[in-house]
Each structure stands twice: as structure tokens, then as C-alpha cells.
Amino acid sequence: MRYLFLLGFILTSLSSYSQKITRQDSLRGSITPQRAWWDLVHYDLSVEVMPESKTIIGTNVMTYKVLNEGPNELQIDLQAPMKLTAVMQDGHSLDVRSEGNAHFIQLENPQREGELKKISLSFEGKPRIAKNPPWDGGITWKKDSNGKHFIASSNQGIGASVWWPNRDHPADEVDSLDMHVTVPKDLVDVSNGRLVHIDTDATTKTYHWTVKNPINNYGVNLNIGDYVNFSEVYKGEKGPLDMSYWVLKEDEEKAREQFKQAPMMMEAFEHWFGPYPFYEDSFKLVQAPYLGMEHQSSVTYGNRFKNGYLGRDLSGTGEGLKFDFIIIHEAGHEWFANNITNKDVADMWIHEGFTSYSENLYLDYHFGKESAATYTIGTRDKIRNDRPMIGTYNVDKEGSGDMYYKGANILLTLRTIAQDDDLWRATLRGLSKEFYHQTTTTAAVENYIANALNLDLTPFFNQYLREKDIPTFEYKIDKKEMHYRFNNTIQGFTMPLRIKINEKYIWLEPTDIWQCLDVPKGTSTVQIDRNMYVDIRKM
């Protein structure tokens, strides 16, 4: 998610770009010495949610592996006004040195290399209320039309530490997760993975959810409401896949109709990206009191059961009304964001670029290549080319919001350059396999693609990811000769370019140096293949 809420989006982009880097940004965004010596293994997160007082109280029992003997301090993140109330290890209460949202736990017992250790983090408070979820996250406290509580967490960007204590950096994920969520007895909690057990007492119910696969922090979520559930079994590439839908009672009928797109999504994405990455945890769509978010194996949905983006077509071409934007985009993140996760949010284009491109691939699968191209090309007028898609490393700073539509358009351009749709599909499927359940970097992803396509893509990625501008193809025609080059590029930029001269397509290898081509007499203009995201200028 985290895409286009236009105004909010401009403001976030500008402010995060001009912002000074603070000590808190470094503590949050880097592998500090107090994070470097240990590796996450498991979270067992128990929370009680009290809607009347908008309070959360809980304990996260974290298991970690000691990688090497460190500084005897362990960093945990938790944002005010939430408070760490107790930290325990091996039956002892530990002291904590806090610096803003970073809490350095003073370990007493030896931490021996290779050892698995547990630490228990108790916390409570009234967590930040989400002002504009999911972009400006926290907890949303709403009520449905029957007056029942409808509550959800959403915390991409701001971080999961807005409501529970954890290691709030994307490079390291737990291998598995358990959640025990206690809610008033008349409500249901839907979280990640599979529901294994419900404990009932006089006034509350506790829902135990379990996730068998690695999961990123920001994907961990609570959804509490008067839910009903329906489900189906999808015959997928890896066998039967449980697809389960949780919606408010009042919306069940609409959901049963609209969610027919969920198996269509699964079919298209398994074709292009390979098997859904979390069969063990099932796939769920969960209604939420905000637009939606890619929470792993419990994708949240609030698109009003309409096609498009809240009923609108983001591409302006009509193609965007052929699918429910939130079902397709947020579920696309299961492959890019949840399966393949950035190690640093500076590389978040890996999440949003590929996922925006997944909208194209959904259309391609069900409506054809031209429909898909028209859609992606239609989103180009939302690209700003204001700053690079890659952000600043180690300080929790994302790149330009162009990572969505520019990301999709450069992938469409690459597919055109590949000139082999089977190889392109094999490359996409290969990414899901190569980086299966891993966190990774732009460098690793671009290397993989270049090797798979057997192309030197260094200038391509340097231009499109690390610069703000896109290349301009400049040409002039003098009788029977066309002179052409790329301008507005990094030095030495080159990429194959497919152009149309006199109704015929040919490939050129322009560089930033003028070259010459014989053209038929009377040629006055040329066109670039519309699938390639390049400007053109006749001199």
C-alpha cells in the first residue's frame, strides 16, 4: 500500500526529502551495535485490546539467536505513549536505558554465541490513533453500522513499534509468529496466519493465530470486529490453498460477489510470479475500517466492494475499472513485500514497483497484453520524476513516491527490452524463488534480473532508480539521414530502444553520443514503442 493518496503523498514525499536526518532516524534505520549481535527467531505476542478506554496491554516474548558476544545491550523499539512496563530474562527483571523510541535492555546473563535466548517485554498504553490510515498509521477505533466496535492496526512507515515492542528494522524477520489477542466477548480478532484456538471466559475471548513462515513487522496486524467468515479451497500450483474471507456481517453479500476476484488474482499471480509464498499460513482477505494494506496472509480490505480505487480508475483509461484495486494491489504484495522484503526502506521500490506492475500482469492474464499496457501507460501522468526511487540508506528514509507508477513503467520497459515474454515470466518467477522468504537489496535484485535476461542493465538501473530524470531520445532528420542520441541521462547511458519509422518497428542502440541512420526519403517523424518509458524530442 502506501501509495497514492495524492495530497498526503506529496506532503510526505517533500517533507521526508527535505527533513534533516536525526539521531532517532539512525537508531531506527540502521543496524546499531545493539542490534548487530543477535538474530530474530520468534515473537509470541499477547495483547488485550480494550475498546472503551482505547488501551492495549500485552507481552511480547521474543526468541533470538546470539550471533556473537555483543555489547550486553539489546535494542528494542517502542514508540511513546506506549510504555515498556517490565523486561524479564531467565526470571530476572532487567533495567532499560531509553533514548526516545529506542530502548536498550541491560542484559545480565551471558549471551553465548549460537544460543537461543528469550526475553519477555511487557507493555501497555493508549497507542497513537491513526489519523489517516493506512498512510498515517496507528490504531483505528471505529464502529460499524450496528454500533459494534470495528478496530484495526496499520503501521507501514511509522512502524510496528507504534503499538508493540519489537526489533523495528526490516532487514531481520522472525521465522514464525504466534499472536494471542484478547477482545470483548462479542467481537472477533483476525490476525496473520491460521486461527488455532479460541479461549473464552466470562467477558472476553482470546484468539490464538499462528504464522509458520518468516513475517515482516509491519505485516503483523489486529483486526477486530463483528466478523463473519466464508472460505474456499483454491487448487494452486503447490496444491490446495485455503482462501478465507472475513467481513462485517452487514457486508457479507457484497463481499461474496466482489471477492470472486480473489481466486482470479491467485491464478494470475501464480502464473506470473510462481506459487503463493505462504500456503502453510493460508490466504485471507479481511475487511478493515480503512482502505487496505498488504498484511501478510491477512490482506486488509476497505475498498467499498467496488472496482478501481474507491470506484475510480487511477489510469484514466477505463482499464483500471476492470479490477478491484485493493484486492489486486495488496495481494500482489504477498510476492513483493512479504515474500521478497527490502532490507532497508530505501529500497522500497522493490515492494511498490513490482506490486504496481502486478496490476499490469493481472490485466494481462485476464484481459490481454494491450489492456495491461494501456493501463500502465495511463498511470504515467502521475509520475513526477522529482527525486530518485531509491531513498537514503540506514536512516529509515524511503525514495520518491514514483516507486509506484515509474516502478511499473520501468518493468514494462524491461519486458519490452527482453523481447521474450517466456523469458520475462521465467525471470519474475525466478525472483520469487531466488529470494524466497528473504530480505534483500536493490543491488541483488538488479543483478538477478540482468543475469536472467543476459543483459548489461547497469546503465538502465542507474538511470531509472538512482537518478530522478528519464532519458530523452533526441533526433533530427536531414533528407535521408536520422541523427539520434539519448540526452538528459547519466554519462555513458545506453539501452536498446524500439522505434517506429514508416510503420515499421526497428531496434536502435542509442547512447549519449550522436549516431546516424539511413531512413526512407520523406520520413519526418519517428515514434517510440509506447511500452518504453522514454521521452522523445524532435530537434
* Complex with Zn ion: residue 300 or 355, whichever CB lies closer: 355
Q: Which region among 62-70, 226-234, 346-354, 385-393 touches Zn ion (by CB under 5 A)?
A: 346-354
Q: Is 403 in the site for Zn ion (CB under 5 A)?
A: no
Compute the distance between CA of residue 433 and CA of residue 413 in angstroms, rounded to an integer: 23
Choose between 299 and 497: whose C-beta lies nearer to Zn ion.
299
Q: Is 174 in the site for Zn ion (CB under 5 A)?
A: no
> Is residue 1 a contact residue for Zn ion (CB under 5 A)?
yes
Question: What angle is formed at CA 459 by the lines to CA 458 and CA 462, rounded to 5 degrees?
Answer: 85
Which three three-digit cell numbers place residue 269? 499471480
- Considering beta carbons, is residue 206 or 439 the nearer one to Zn ion? 439
Kindly state the smallest distance separating residue 333's Cβ from Zn ion, in Å: 6
The distance of closest approach from Cβ of residue 332 to Zn ion in the complex, given in angstroms and rounded to an integer, is 8
Grid cell at residue 291: 482502505
Per the CB < 8 A criterion, the answer to whether 150 and 109 are in contact is no
CB of 254 to Zn ion, least distance (A): 23
Rounded to whole angstroms, the Cα distance separating 198 from 181 reads: 10
Q: Pattern 473-502, binding to Zn ion, x per CB under 5 A?
A: ------------------------------
In the complex with Zn ion, the residue whose CB is nearer, 58 or 407, is: 407
**Phi (first) and psi of residue 464, to 5 degrees:** -80, -25
Q: Compute the distance between CA of residue 341 and CA of residue 170 in angstroms, rounded to an integer.
A: 8
Residue 338 vs 416, nearer CB to Zn ion: 338
Q: Which of 498, 410, 418 minimizes the C-alpha distance to 451?
A: 418
User: What is the closest distance, in whole angstroms, from the C-beta atom of residue 337 to Zn ion in the complex?
Assistant: 7
Q: Shortest gap between Cβ of 6 and Zn ion (angstroms)?
A: 15
* Cα 508 to the center of its chain, rounded Å: 35
Shortest Å distance, C-beta 351 to Zn ion: 6
The nearer residue to Zn ion, 1 or 499, going by C-beta atoms, is: 1
Binding positions for Zn ion, 349-378, rule CB under 5 A: 352, 355
199 phi/psi in degrees, rounded to 5: -100, 130
CB 292 within 8 Å of CB 1: yes
Beta bridge partners of 60: 45, 121
Q: How far apart are the C-alpha atoms of 89 and 72, rounded to whole Å?
A: 13
User: What is the separation of C-alpha 133 from the centre of its chain, rounded to a whole number of angstroms?
Assistant: 15
Stretch that binds Zn ion, among 307-315, 348-356, 362-370, 454-462 (CB under 5 A): 348-356
Q: Which residues bind Zn ion (CB under 5 A)?
A: 1, 352, 355
